[in-house]
Amino acid sequence: MNLTDEQTRDIEKKAAAIRETIIDSLVAAGSGHTAGPLGMADIFAAFYFHILNHKPHEPLWEERDRLFLSNGHICPVRYAAMAHAGYFPVEECLTLRKFGSRLQGHPERTMLPAVETTSGPLGSGLGQAAGYAYAARMDGRKFRVYCAMSDGEQDAGNTWEAAMFAGNNKLSNLTAVMDRNNIQINGMTENVMPLEPLSDKYRAFGWHVLEVDGHNIAQFIDAVDEAKAIYEKPTIIIAHTIPGKGVPEIEFDYRWHGKPPSAEEAKRFIHALRTLNGKVKSEHE
């Protein structure tokens, strides 16, 4: 179903609010990752405010869609999206990485309902999601399984074992979303470990492959809808994103992969976001 202009605008507003919450939470934590979470805000807004079949006030509802986060270090975007969707108060995001907080620097399954897996070691998420999708099909369950992952973790061999498993078992209930932002902790992906041609590699393992602008919410949702219509194959959506999206001074700067802003930088970043989002005001305002 095509989004109306009003629906698209509403999700864009949510993404703007999520970006501000990410920055606030990183400042409060004094540590964490900035570039990836900002880059994935549009996709997570689309997930939590349109795509997922879920009930925030009944987080362990058995028929909910499952969203696995493989690249757990971008969890500030997931926490912010979940908070704005109503899973817990937005103010709790300010406890990010604090001792005893439910919102650790990598998600912990037992601490926060509807976080489907504990993530940390990169490359594990696709295998976990594929196994879950396989079990769901064996049990005749109708929910869908999604897996968000980074491009940098395509360096990990277990990612490709999982890709082979999912393709071989024709897991059409599985949709992977790759954050193709071209950076990892020590440089640009194509300098560290060239990944291309990614689309051809996944097709070779029996996947249906789509490529989208990860900041075009309507385009991303259309791709997810197409994935639902594909039978006999899992689908991967390669979402081209800008790391640090919305803050021009840090966009495409890999040094911000694992660096939080200072309080002064955060003021500049939020000002930049609000300036660039002049047509899409954050719901905070």
Domain with residue 114: its CATH number is: 3.40.50.970
CA–CA distance, 32 with 256 (Å, rounded to integer): 10
Which domain range does residue 236 map to? 5-276
Residue 184, in any domain of the structure: yes
3-state secondary structure of 173: coil
Residue 46, in any domain of the structure: yes
Residue 34, in any domain of the structure: yes
Overall domain count for the chain: 1
Residue 282, in any domain of the structure: no
CA–CA distance, 269 with 202 (Å, rounded to integer): 36
Residues 6+ apart with CB under 8 A from 264: none
Tell me if 221 sits within 8 A of 52, measured CB to CB: no
Residue 95, in any domain of the structure: yes
Residue 281: predicted pLDDT: 52
Residue 260, in any domain of the structure: yes
- pTM to 2 decimal places: 0.93
* CB half-sphere exposure, 252, CA atoms < 13 A: 2
Structure tokens at 119: 């993530």
Residue 238, in any domain of the structure: yes
Residue 121, in any domain of the structure: yes
Structure tokens at 144: 């869908």
What element of type H or E holds 24? helix 5-29
Q: pLDDT tens track of the chain, all 285 residues?
A: 578 889 999 999 999 999 999 999 999 999 999 999 999 999 999 999 999 999 999 999 999 999 999 998 999 999 999 999 999 999 999 999 999 999 998 999 999 989 999 987 888 999 999 999 999 999 999 999 999 999 999 999 999 999 999 999 999 999 999 999 998 878 888 888 999 999 999 999 999 999 999 999 999 999 999 999 999 999 999 999 999 999 999 999 888 888 899 999 999 999 999 987 774 555 544
User: CA dist 60 to 7, 81, 115, 147, 214, Å?
Assistant: 27, 17, 9, 18, 28
When computed from its CA atoms, the radius of gyration of the chain, rounded to whole angstroms, is 18
